[in-house]
Chains A and B, each alone.
Chain A
Amino acid sequence: MGLTRRRFLRGVATTAAGAVLGGRARRARAAPAPLKIGLLLPYSNVYAVLGESITDGLSLVFERAGWTVAGRRVELIKEDDEVNPQVGLRKAKKLIESDGVDFLVGPVSSGVLAAIRDTVHQARQILIVANAGNDEISRDRCSRYIFRASFSNWQPNAPMGSWVAAHVAKEAYLVAPKYAAGFDMMRAFKETFVAAGGKVVGEDYTPFPVNEDFAPFLTKINQAAPKVVYAFFSGSQAVRFVRQYDEFGLRARSKLCGAGFLTESDVLPAQGQSALGIITGHFYSTLLDNPANKAFVRAFRAKYARTPDGFAVQGYDSAQVIAHGLTATGGDTRDKDRLLEALRGVEFDSPRGRFRFDPRTQNVIQPFIYVREVREVDGELANVVVDRIANVRDPGTGCTLPG
């Protein structure tokens, strides 16, 4: 049996493969510890969709980087907070204490963030807030360990207050779920709406997180017949509210406006035609015309076969904050002060525009708050930008970070 060319080549290939694999295995032993990222997000209940969107956006960044950042392999540990503060706190403790995560990312609900804030702060655990917007986290309960890559509840709503008063009507009925985010958002809206001469004719806070039916509230709105209804709902409640609002025939009578979450791309398909004409304020729209957004939308659609929403952008940006911060420290997470400093200085092109933190609050400065109207674009519902307000930063009243 002679040494044929094929046999020879096979031998060479095997040897080479062995060398490469052996080399990789040796290198792996010397490799730095994996970068552990704990995702504390809702994967069930009213905000399940939001948790999924954030996770998808975040995964997109790490996948593009081959799941390695600054030489460290990225490991995601997911925990379902069930939109429940007690569960969230328990899971946060688990991620911090037993898993020893380098970064905590989440949560969605303001209630959960309020519950875990002190634990995170005392444990000196770096938390990248990927959604929850409670104003207090940029104000009197701010922490040098907490960065917010999403928004503060004040940010989309305060600009909307003056905009609605100037462009829609000066008489509004407010409705939002009865928890921290609902109160924050309505307060921010009222602040500027009333200052611009607007009058609040009614205000309702609906049960949260469980509320199947908005009929009692819609009946009250029907009787009050306001010119504008300003609402905040998100996830499955946004679908129900918008659908039932239309069902009760309110669409023809009172203009529905609100915080952008009311008509994000995660809920628009289920809302259908009921959503047409709703005007909302948000830091993002899928239709934004900038290279970062175009690349993001293309990549997201290719991977998940659906249109990304603002929540996916928050996940995407949270991952970019981590990636940029870690690259700046050369992959080191042990020196906390150095890492914190690097994170504070992070700046990059996000789908929403140039991303940077406000050094006074460590909350993102929104490049723009876009006023968007739901219209049909190419046979699909979308949030079309009709106006924008630049550089919206939370007032940060009461936050004592050095900045």
Chain B
Amino acid sequence: MAQALNGLEYGMLLFLLSVGLTLIFGMLGVVNLAHGSFYALGAYAGIAVAVFTGSFWLALCVAPLVVAGVGAAIERSCLRPLYARGPNAQVLLTFGFIYVFDDLLRWLWGSHVRSVAPPAALAGVVALGPGRFPVYRIFVILFGLAVALLLWLALERTRLGAIVRAGVWDAEMAAGLGVNVARVFTAVFAAGAGLAALAGVVAVPIQAAYPGMGVEILVRTLIVVVIGGLGSLEGSLAGSLILGQAETFGKAWLPDSSMFIIYGVMAAVLLLRPTGLFGRALR
């Protein structure tokens, strides 16, 4: 029971991270390898804001906006000229950004591990049967669910969501219908970056920030996206929850093969449904 909650909490964190990646891929067709860097940037920016203002909540609002701005700037200045050149150029570019951000973060904040305590309201533990569970992690679970719900509403129930979904299905057609696809691309990329940063801020009280954190989490995020299916919100949620549970129970019960279990789950999903749980065949 306690382990299932651990898995759920870890899964929610993975969801916050992977949903941005999957949306960016779905809309722009870009596998953004620098997604982990946005996560790290969000974490460090969040710490900076939290330390400067003394408010974790403010950090949770400001850092994602800053990173979304960075994402928008990168999309407009660097990615846009490459859309015509196909996926390889984009993968190389975003891969390059991993190193740029890594050095930038090190230059700005040094290589020391940094962390902030969870806000006072969320400190402590609650009794859960025989065991205990940290309040902050319950917040993470609820926060993740809330973000999932809001994203779903935004995508399914608003005009902007309809445009994004249209763009995911067929960008050319959407453009033909008078949608300013270029602007939507920028918005989606910025939103994806902001979501990664949001995950970064949320993760800081639990996991701390340190150089290389973005790359470490990137692999997990990609696995989630592969399991869930590229470009799918539901897939991202399902993939995160599955991976969260698989990794948590793997660590608890079979620590020697917890890595194998993660990749095993991915391989099984790929064999049964090559496009992922909620994916559809690529054009």
A272 to B123, CA, bound (A): 14
Q: Nearest B residue to A44 by beta-carbon distance? A: B212
A212 close to B112 (CB less than 8 A): no
Supposing A248-B132, A272-B117 touch, asked if A49 and B112 sit within 8 A by C-beta, the answer is yes
Q: Which of A95-103, A150-158, A237-245, A326-334 lies on the face that meets chain B? A: A237-245
B10 close to A48 (CB less than 8 A): no
Q: Nearest B residue to A269 by beta-carbon distance? A: B112
A249 to B109, CA, bound (A): 30
Does A270 sit at the interface, judged by CB under 8 A?
yes
Which of B3, B113, B220 interacts with A270 by CB under 8 Å? Answer: B113
Query: B interface, how many residues as a size bin?
Result: 35 or more
Supposing A43-B111, A213-B10 touch, asked if A222 and B132 sit within 8 A by C-beta, the answer is yes
Q: Nearest B residue to A213 by beta-carbon distance? A: B10
Whole-angstrom distance between the Cβ of B11 and the nearest chain A Cβ: 11
Which of A43, A178, A219, A240 interacts with B3 by CB under 8 Å? Answer: A219
B211 close to A220 (CB less than 8 A): no
Binary flags per residue of B249-262, CB closer than 8 Å to A gives 1, else 0: 10110011011000
Supposing A223-B131, A270-B208 touch, asked if A210 and B216 sit within 8 A by C-beta, the answer is yes
Supposing A248-B132, A270-B115 touch, asked if A219 and B210 sit within 8 A by C-beta, the answer is no
A243 to B208, CA, bound (A): 9
Does A398 sit at the interface, judged by CB under 8 A?
no
A273 to B211, CA, bound (A): 23
A216 close to B124 (CB less than 8 A): no
Supposing A178-B255, A213-B10, A222-B2 touch, asked if A236 and B208 sit within 8 A by C-beta, the answer is yes
B113 close to A216 (CB less than 8 A): no
Whole-angstrom distance between the Cβ of B118 and the nearest chain A Cβ: 8
B210 close to A215 (CB less than 8 A): no
B211 close to A48 (CB less than 8 A): yes
Interface size on A, residues (CB 8 A): 40
A236 close to B10 (CB less than 8 A): no
B113 close to A236 (CB less than 8 A): yes
Residues of A contacting B217 in the complex (Cβ-Cβ under 8 angstroms): 212
Does B75 sit at the interface, judged by CB under 8 A?
no
Whole-angstrom distance between the Cβ of B246 and the nearest chain A Cβ: 11
Q: Nearest A residue to B203 by beta-carbon distance? A: A212
Q: Which of B113, B118, B212 has the most CB of A within 10 A?
A: B113
Residues of A contacting B81 in the complex (Cβ-Cβ under 8 angstroms): none
B212 close to A216 (CB less than 8 A): no
A49 to B213, CA, bound (A): 13
Does A11 sit at the interface, judged by CB under 8 A?
no
Residues of A contacting B125 in the complex (Cβ-Cβ under 8 angstroms): 247-249
Which of A205, A215, A269 interacts with B248 by CB under 8 Å? Answer: A215
Q: Nearest A residue to B123 by beta-carbon distance? A: A247
Main SS class of interface, A:
helix
B206 close to A213 (CB less than 8 A): yes
B3 close to A46 (CB less than 8 A): no
A244 close to B206 (CB less than 8 A): yes
Supposing A43-B111, A235-B113, A239-B113 touch, asked if A216 and B251 sit within 8 A by C-beta, the answer is yes
Whole-angstrom distance between the Cβ of B74 and the nearest chain A Cβ: 22
A44 to B99, CA, bound (A): 11
B210 close to A216 (CB less than 8 A): no
Whole-angstrom distance between the Cβ of B240 and the nearest chain A Cβ: 13
Does B54 sit at the interface, judged by CB under 8 A?
no
Does B136 sit at the interface, judged by CB under 8 A?
yes
Does B264 sit at the interface, judged by CB under 8 A?
no
Residues of B contacting A267 in the complex (Cβ-Cβ under 8 angstroms): 113
A306 to B9, CA, bound (A): 35
A266 close to B112 (CB less than 8 A): yes
**A36-54 with Cβ < 8 A to chain B:** 43-46, 48-49, 51-52
**B168-215 with Cβ < 8 A to chain A:** 203, 205-208, 210-213
A207 close to B251 (CB less than 8 A): yes
Residues of A contacting B117 in the complex (Cβ-Cβ under 8 angstroms): 272-273
Residues of B contacting A219 in the complex (Cβ-Cβ under 8 angstroms): 2-3, 6, 131, 252
A49 close to B131 (CB less than 8 A): no
Does B86 sit at the interface, judged by CB under 8 A?
no
A216 close to B248 (CB less than 8 A): yes
Q: Which of A52, A213, A266 has the most CB of B within 10 A?
A: A213
Q: Which of A215, A243, A306 has the most CB of B within 10 A?
A: A215
Residues of B contacting A266 in the complex (Cβ-Cβ under 8 angstroms): 112-113
Supposing A46-B212, A223-B130 touch, asked if A204 and B113 sit within 8 A by C-beta, the answer is no
Residues of B contacting A178 in the complex (Cβ-Cβ under 8 angstroms): 255-256
B212 close to A215 (CB less than 8 A): no
Does A206 sit at the interface, judged by CB under 8 A?
yes
Q: Nearest B residue to A52 by beta-carbon distance? A: B111
A216 close to B252 (CB less than 8 A): yes
Which A residues contact B (CB, under 8 angstroms)? 43-46, 48-49, 51-52, 178, 204-207, 210, 212-213, 215-217, 219-220, 222-223, 235-236, 239-240, 243-244, 247-249, 266-267, 269-273, 306
List 7 additional contacts besides A215-B137, A236-B208, A247-B137; criterion CB under 8 Å: A44-B212, A49-B113, A49-B210, A213-B10, A240-B206, A247-B125, A271-B115
The 9 closest A-B pairs by CB, nearest first: A249-B125, A215-B6, A216-B252, A236-B210, A216-B251, A48-B111, A45-B212, A270-B113, A247-B134
Which B residues contact A (CB, under 8 angstroms)? 2-3, 6, 9-10, 102, 110-115, 117-118, 124-125, 130-134, 136-137, 203, 205-208, 210-213, 216-217, 219-220, 248-249, 251-252, 255-256, 258-259
CB<8 Å pairs between A and B, sample of 10 = A44-B211, A52-B112, A207-B258, A216-B3, A219-B6, A223-B2, A235-B113, A243-B208, A249-B124, A270-B114
